[in-house]
Structure formats: C-alpha cells, structure tokens
Amino acid sequence: MANTDNNPLMGFTEVVGGVEVCSIIVILIIALFGSSRADADEPLFYFPKMKTHQIKSDAIDQTYEIHVLQPVSKKNGSERFPVLYMTDANAGIPFEQVTRSMQAAGEIPRFIVVGIGYPVDTVYGSLNLRQRDLTPTEAERDGYGFALEGIEKLKSGKTSGGADAFLRFIQEQVKPFIDENYNTTPDENAYFGHSLGGLFGLYVLFNEPKTFNRYILGSPAIWWDDETILSDAEKFLETNKSVKARVYMAAGGKEETNAPGAHYVSNLYRLDAMLRSKSIRGFELETEIYPNHEHVGVLGMLNMKGIPAVYDKPECPPILPAACN
C-alpha cells in the first residue's frame, strides 16, 4: 500500500478500500451532513428591535418622535414590506407588539409599523399637540380640563386646523425617510388612527386618497367643527369614480350614550350610508360597532379586528416554513 502519511489526499487513489480511504470518506460525509443539519437548525427569522427617530417638521414648529417597528424578518435582510402609518403613537405603538405576534403566527401579513408621536411620556401629554395636527379646520374648543400634569402646551401658532400641514409632513418628510432607511414597498401604505386620528384619516381619504390604500379608522371625531368632514365626504363622492382603498371604520356602542353630543355611533352610520350611496370602483368599506366598548377601548379592538379587515390573511406563518410546504 502506498504511503499516505504525508499526503492525506492520496487515499482517494486507492482501488482497494483501506483504512485511509474509509476514514477520509467518513470524515467528509460527517462534515457535509453535519453542516447541513447545523444550517437547518440555524434560525432564519428574528424580531428587529424598535427604532426611534427624531424628525423636525419643516412646516410645523414641532419635533416628532417616529417609532419604527419592523415585523419578524429574515436575518439576511432580503425582504421588503408594506408600511402602516399610525398617529398617536404614544398610545398606539405598545399595541403593535401584539400585531407583530399576529404577523409571526400568520394571522395577518407582515408590514412595518411607523408610529408618529411626540416627545411626551403619555398620549395625554400630547392632547393639545394632536388637536393642532389632526383637525382639518380651526374651531373654538374649551380646554380638556384634566387635573393631570404633563400636558404639553403649545408655544405658538394655531391650536387646531393643522391637518393639511401635518399631512405634508407625512408625505414629504416621514414617508421618504422611511423608504430610504428601511426595506419598504413604497406603493403599499396603510393608515391607522383613532378619535381625532380617525378624523384625520377621513380628511386624507376624502382629499388625497392616494396617500394610503388602506384605512383603519376608530371612533372618528366626525363631530369636529359642526361635522364639517361630511362636506368633504360629499365632494369625495362627487369627484371620484375610482379609488383604490380598503376602509374599515368602527366605534364603541357605549360612546353614543357616554358622549351624547359627539354622536360617535349615529354619525358613523350616517357616513357609512353616504359612502355606500355611490359606487366607486376599487373602494371597499366595512363598518362595525363594538356594542360593549367605550371610547378608549376601541383603540385595542382596532388592532384585533380592523387590521385583519383590510389585509388578506397570508397562506402560512412565516416562522414555520414546514407549514408552507
């Protein structure tokens, strides 16, 4: 037998299976299949940590906190996702951890959540700021009257009617920043808003509907400024023959009695009837009342019912590849 002590590759030249040849083959097989097994056991997905950015508006005297919550994602960064933009992030972004779990379980598709909030500790701290940004018209309104510290006061400018400037901020600064720094599909954007945030969503839908193609609107404050948003709805119906949008609106049944002057439920029914009075190609609408819920409680329900209403369910959970076969 040839001497292979100094050249282990010589074992491949043996015709008769000696110890040297067998050893090399076994080692190669173990290396090959052992590596494959290790690769199979290596996790393909992970939950990216939430990132927070500060963006100063060019048109509004305000610095905003932008919270970005990416879905469970492949570790190689090869995937791109739609984006859901949420106002009132100081209240809403904590719920989105549940949304990420729903995405991982395959109950809803994966998308990036971008929460637009303020540098305050709680949503109550932003009451005056959100009233400025989320309302479409200037209107006189008494203060909130809460015996609560930490409510940010406006330093200058108008106290309401800033929806147009806020929309420009989203379109011209927030969306380009997100598309540049994250793996997005720029033509797939959704909006999520509650209360005044729901009113802002209606304002965008009726005036610049192409901004988003999915709208999740909870307890929209249709009552604002003598229900002027209904005039925007009439113009929307008159001027649009085709709008690509899936819209979900909801309110809590107890809101009608707890805040009788706001007419949260009856106004929502009125708006629903208006929007169904004309057929608009590509426009899909679902309206729901949660009978036993009050105003703040609607926010949580929007995540559980509103998001699945405007997105199609994926075929399988992303983190269980075997279930997709």
- Alpha-carbon span 220 to 200, nearest angstrom: 8
Provide the pLDDT for residue 38.
38
**Cα 94–151–138 angle (5° rounding)?**
100
Would you say 246 and 213 are in contact if contact means Cβ atoms under 8 Å apart? Answer: yes
Low-confidence ranges of the chain (pLDDT < 70): 1-42, 325
Provide the pLDDT for residue 42.
67
| 318 DSSP 8-state letter | T
In angstroms, the Cα distances linking 197 to 89, 171, 292 are: 10, 16, 22
Q: Please list, residue by residue across 162-178, b when 16 or more beta carbons sit within 10 angstroms of its beta carbon and e when fewer do.
A: bbebbbebbeebbbeeb
Neighbours of 150 (CB within 10 A): 11
- Alpha-carbon span 133 to 10, nearest angstrom: 78
Residue 156 CB-density burial (10 A; 0-12 exposed, 13-18 middle, 19+ buried): exposed
User: What are 207-253's pLDDT values in tens digits?
Assistant: 999 999 999 999 999 999 999 999 999 999 999 999 999 999 999 99
Provide the pLDDT for residue 63.
96
Provide the pLDDT for residue 156.
80
Provide the pLDDT for residue 41.
56
State how beta strands 242-252 and 281-290 pair.
parallel
Crossing angle between the packed helical segments 196-207 and 127-134, to the nearest 10 degrees: 20
Provide the pLDDT for residue 90.
87
- Alpha-carbon span 12 to 7, nearest angstrom: 10
Decide: helix, strand or coil at residue 161.
Answer: coil
Provide the pLDDT for residue 143.
76
Provide the pLDDT for residue 86.
96
